[in-house]
Chain A
Amino acid sequence: MYIGYFNINWLMNTEKGHVNCSNYCTDSNGYHFRIRSLRRKKEKISHNTKQLFLLLQSPTSTNYHPDKKTIFNGAIFGKHQEECKPNQAEGKLSPELEHHQKTSFEEVPLHTACLTYLGFYLLMILGYINQLLFVPKVATEKNREGYVALYDAFESFYSRYVYRRVKDCWNRPICSVPGDELTLKDRVTDDYGWSFKFTGTETRCLNLGSYNYLGFAAAAGRCADESEERARNDGLAYCSSRCELGDNEQLHELESLTARYFGVEDAIVFGMGFATNALNLPSLLGPNCLVVSDEKNHASIILGLRLSGATIKVFKHNNMRDLERVLREGICYGNPKKGGTPWNKIMVVVEGIFSMEGSIVRLPEIIALKKKYKAYLYLDEAHSVGAMGSHGRGVTDYFNVNPKEVDILMGTFTKSFGSAGGYLAGSKKLIDFLRTNSHAHCYAGSISPPIAQQILTSMKTIMGEDGSDTGRKKILQLARNTRYFRRRLAQLGVITYGHEDSPVVPMLVYLFSKIGAVVRTLTTRHIAVVGAGFPATPIMEGRIRFCLSAAHTKEQLDYALEVIDEIGDDLGLKYSRKPRDANPIEY
């Protein structure tokens, strides 16, 4: 049965026409997981009995399948809705210890690490040989003889001969709402990833890839209705910046609502989340400023800091001791470029939930350090706003910290609110400064009315100002889905990173080729996930990322877990050496 399944799986992979899997089966790493799966097969009897045991114990078997039209469309809540605790304050341990205990960064087994490097270098060597022997099927520059080469040689090599092998796993076009499920437009490649063709078919998948944390991405319902109404009344854009003819009452309402949502004095909104970081950090910082930035911070923050001209010091991811060391050194030794004169100001820049690590910032400790060293704190809540805390206000809510303790709250409307754009919130003084100094506020087009309306409606729903408890239910559902899914994954024996309560769940697969293998295999099983590898992550830490949503039902999660369990055996993903919890996990 097992071998049969294995073959069918690959057969489906080719037949379905995703990508010819010979591509990665013949390369170095394909060999690796073939062997692993053979070894796994030896263990199959013991494993199957265990699985049977689990099947009997917990209601994992499910009738759900994304390809069947199911009634589970949208957020339907479990019958036995209980008060689960999205808040961290459960007592017993000190908060720091508890946070530590709930955050997991299991170390990679040594042989996997070696194989990962080996596999990666093999890929590179094969790529180089490939580059020597075959003319790449790429466009070349015409009519520009004698010009200095436009691209770095390594960069183009990497994208042509390493990334191309798994290129089909990204930029996949969809043609539906990115809700709890999505519809993929199937595409095939006849030339190993150089180009793609649409087959004209579609695949309905369970969506574990979009940042739809609270399930507000929908084409029907209140949000969509009000957005459409707004578009019909106010049009699609203003074709002007806020400082010229782009300001309107709706944006003022949005700003005051945002300020109220976070419990701070004032807020300012922008049309793009990325630009909120990239175009506002330069206004806040100058050349004689020190920025202490977490090593896993997002590219938009890094770009913003680079534009600001400030000196950037990086501290180890979520490591308070290292942060303190950097802060101490910064104050004591001053600006080395100016002979050690004191810094004008020091700013700590962190994220609420780190999107690739799934970890939650250790906010209370950072606030204590920031106070001790008189630094300012910039908190990017792109992934945590809406998704964390019992009121959905982000990590300040989650840790029960007064939001005014954070100097600058930043976040996006793209994710939990199902819209687009970003905000900065804080004291009135700060926001007034930004209104007169922010690049985006002065030069960029103002937010489109239907987009702003989506934010307004979803935000009001979360706050319960629409008179229903939908928002509260969504928050609870997400917290519950998160804990259930993470615990079940741990039980399966895969390595996941990050905090127990974070809806961003990276599952480590290490090898570069396995990223492709897992994404493709999951697609054949109608699950859409995101893979991330070098250069987005360290070479050794290729991973699959699941993003949970309040729109997911238990049936959907069970279906996903069942599939992950199966493919975890085939592809050898169960790296964890931690003791597994044999008890069924309660939803």
Chain B
Amino acid sequence: MVAIQLFNEIRSIFRNTPTFALVLETLLLIAVIWLLLHRRGGGRRRRLTKEEEDSIIASYEPEPLVEDTDPNHPLLRTRIVQSRVGKRIKVDGHECLNLGSHNYLGFLEDQEILEDACKSLRKYGVGSCGPRGFYGTMDVHLDLEDRIAKFMDLEEAIVYSYGFSTVASAIPAYAKRGDIIYVDEAVNFAIQKGLDASRSTIVFFKHNDVEDLERLLLEQEKRNQKNPKKALKTRRFLVAEGIYMNTGEICPLPDLVALRQKYKLRLFVDESISFGTLGKGGRGVTEHFNVDRDEVDLISAGMEGSMGTIGGFCVGSHFIAEHQRLSGLGYIFSASLPPMLTQAAISALNRFEQNPEIFEQLQSKAKSLHQKFSNFSKLRLRGDALSPVKHLYLAEPAVNFEAELKLLTELADKCISQGVAIVQAAYLQNRERVPVRPSIRIAVNRLLDDADITSAFEVIEKVSQSLL
């Protein structure tokens, strides 16, 4: 029965199709078969005999595993920290005022947080001995996720065990091959790696330049109109940092949100620096601009800055954040954050909530440091006044970046020996998307007072004048 029906069906197809279509299809079929066979036979070169293979193998000379490293490479020489990190720090034998560690709120010196962490150590031990899926989830992890979500007034948070891997795992959890990601050209290296892992098409726009972004979006809009089918499947993302690690500038969030709405993008903001520093309550760049947090699709942040511990988190709506529990590679396949460090993050959040005045203190310190440090005669300051991270560049550029780095390193060394710890920002110039201009990265600490800022200014000014 079925066979007869099928036969009739096929016959009717043949009858109803015009002849030219049949001919065309036959030709197509032949072409496909030819291509397949051709690929198999001729695509690869002729098979070699065993003797030929052996001789090729014998003559094969691979490159060495790694190239020789210049023993004077700037990254080989690191500074040794010899004390607990705080407002003051001992570096290479010199007692210094600390303008280098990203300990914005001074929580590394907080005895209460330390006590809580030690208590946690006595309950859970040091390591978690497993990924989150396999008995590595401790109640402190759930607590922390809950607390972050509540603090940010969002539905769900997800905690990673390494700051770098947070955003680097979050981006490829959503963006896949064929998608388009619009990114500020100054984004930090972790974001760049996340973009690489996503295999999406990456479009860079000029740093904090909303017009440039809109121009690129309009271009894409035109392409979309030409190929609306493809546009229906192409997810479009916008990635920015709250405060840029590499420039110290704040992103123009309201404009980005407007473009997000207009062009239907999904906006990811990395708040590694801005979380716990910007806004009245430390809730980051959204609070700073008074933007509804639902307008941002995902907020990620490292806990290695203002929170004074290790790890990172992503926070957003349940719909968005929950997805990472099955797709965030750094979340699934890594051991969970050691419980004592998780506890330290919870205690840091306690402090955030109990003493919201710390954020204003930090911001006023950042402002007064900004004001003071704008007056260097040989160095140029970059960064937002409110930002706790600022960059000092040479006012007069040297011949190349290498020479600049050398000068800045010397400057930092001399400042350290005179009691002010500043440090040149470390970049892998050969691995960055484009080489980054060397600078001294200043990190503001809430505990600095005006006298500290003045004395630091004087030391750096004196050294830079004698050196440059």
Residues of A within 8 A of B (CB): 138-144, 146-152, 155, 159, 163, 170-179, 182, 185, 207, 209-212, 216-220, 223-224, 227-228, 231-249, 252, 271-275, 278-279, 283-284, 298-300, 303, 306-307, 328, 331-333, 336, 340, 342-346, 372-376, 407-408, 412-415, 417-420, 429-430, 432-437, 439-445, 448, 450-451, 454, 528, 530
Contact = CB atoms under 8 A, between A and B. Distances in A.
B101 interface: yes
B333 A328 contact: no
Contacts of A233: 84
Given A237-B310, A248-B80, A248-B81, A139 B155 contact: yes
Interface string B217-252: 000000000000000111110000000000000000
Contact of B137 (A172, A216, A372): A172
Q: Specify which of A239, A284, A450 lies most central, judged by the most chain B CB atoms within 10 Å of its CB.
A: A239
Contacts, number: 368
Contacts of A434: 66
B226 to A, nearest CB: 17
Given A176-B124, A300-B333, A239 B102 contact: yes
A231 B118 contact: yes
B130 A211 contact: yes
Interface stretch (B190-198, B375-383, B448-456): B190-198
A329 to B, nearest CB: 9
B135 A178 contact: yes
Interface in B194-219: 196-197, 199
A237 B309 contact: yes
B134 A210 contact: yes
11 contacts: A141-B320, A155-B326, A224-B122, A237-B108, A238-B81, A244-B423, A272-B334, A275-B330, A328-B53, A415-B335, A450-B340
Contact of A407 (B65, B67, B163, B334): B65
Given A245-B100, A430-B65, A333 B44 contact: yes
B137 A171 contact: yes
A272 B334 CA distance: 8
Contacts of B66: 284, 429-430, 433-434
A243 B57 contact: no
B140 to A, nearest CB: 9
Given A217-B126, A220-B122, 4 more contacts: A139-B317, A245-B79, A272-B165, A331-B53
Q: Specify which of B71, B102, B164, B174 lies most central, judged by the most chain A CB atoms within 10 Å of its CB.
A: B164
A448 B323 CA distance: 29
B374 interface: no
A241 B162 CA distance: 12
Interface of B: 44-45, 48, 52-53, 56-57, 60-69, 71, 73, 75-76, 78-86, 89, 91, 98, 100-103, 108-109, 113-114, 117-118, 121-130, 132-139, 141-142, 155, 161-165, 168, 174, 176, 188-190, 193, 196-197, 199, 232-236, 264, 266, 294, 302, 304-305, 308-310, 317-320, 322-323, 325-327, 329-330, 332-335, 337-338, 340-341, 344, 421, 423, 425-428, 430-431, 441, 443
A148 B122 contact: no
A470 B19 CA distance: 86
Contacts of B428: 436-437, 439, 442-443
Nearest to B441: A244
A207 B319 contact: no
A238 B125 contact: no
A468 B168 CA distance: 43
A242 B134 contact: no
Contact of B129 (A210, A283, A343, A346): A210
A185 B299 CA distance: 29
Given A217-B127, A219-B121, A236-B113, A331 B80 contact: no
Nearest to B312: A445
A420 B80 contact: no
Nearest to B162: A272
Contacts of A432: 69, 71, 73, 76
A332 B57 contact: yes
Contact of A415 (B73, B129, B142, B317): B129
A421 B440 CA distance: 29
Nearest to B52: A332
B68 A429 contact: yes
A148 B230 CA distance: 11
B137 A174 contact: yes
A222 B332 CA distance: 31
Given A240-B102, A344-B63, A246 B427 contact: no
Given A150-B235, A412-B335, A430-B66, A247 B81 contact: yes
A173 B121 CA distance: 17
Given A148-B235, A236-B309, A437-B431, A247 B189 contact: no
Q: Specify which of A141, A273, A448, A454 lies most central, judged by the most chain B CB atoms within 10 Å of its CB.
A: A448
Contacts of B344: 236
Contacts of A178: 124-125, 128-130, 135-136
Q: Specify which of A149, A223, A247 lies most central, judged by the most chain B CB atoms within 10 Å of its CB.
A: A247
Contacts of A414: 127-130, 335
Contact of B76 (A249, A413, A418, A436): A436
Given A332-B48, A442-B428, A170 B133 contact: yes
Contacts of B189: 439, 442-443
Q: List the 9 closest A-B pairs by CB distance, nearest first.
A: A243-B426, A274-B334, A139-B318, A433-B66, A272-B162, A444-B164, A247-B78, A414-B335, A454-B126
Contact of A303 (B294, B309, B329): B329
A551 B81 CA distance: 37
Contacts of A342: 60
Contact of A177 (B113, B124, B337, B426): B124
B191 to A, nearest CB: 11
A242 B79 CA distance: 8
Contacts of B114: 231-232, 235-236
B128 A209 contact: no
Nearest to B172: A303
B333 to A, nearest CB: 4
Given A240-B101, A299-B333, A437-B431, A151 B129 contact: no
A147 B98 CA distance: 47
Contacts of A249: 80, 82
B208 to A, nearest CB: 22
Given A307-B193, A419-B126, A227 B101 contact: no
B193 A439 contact: yes
A185 B115 CA distance: 25
A240 B100 contact: yes
A139 B322 contact: yes
Nearest to A220: B122
Nearest to B325: A171
Contacts of B427: 442
Contacts of B327: 155
Given A147-B264, A236-B344, A307-B196, A245 B423 contact: yes
A500 to B, nearest CB: 23
B81 A245 contact: yes
B125 A235 contact: no
Contact of B118 (A207, A232, A346, A444): A232
Contact of A142 (B188, B234, B294): B294
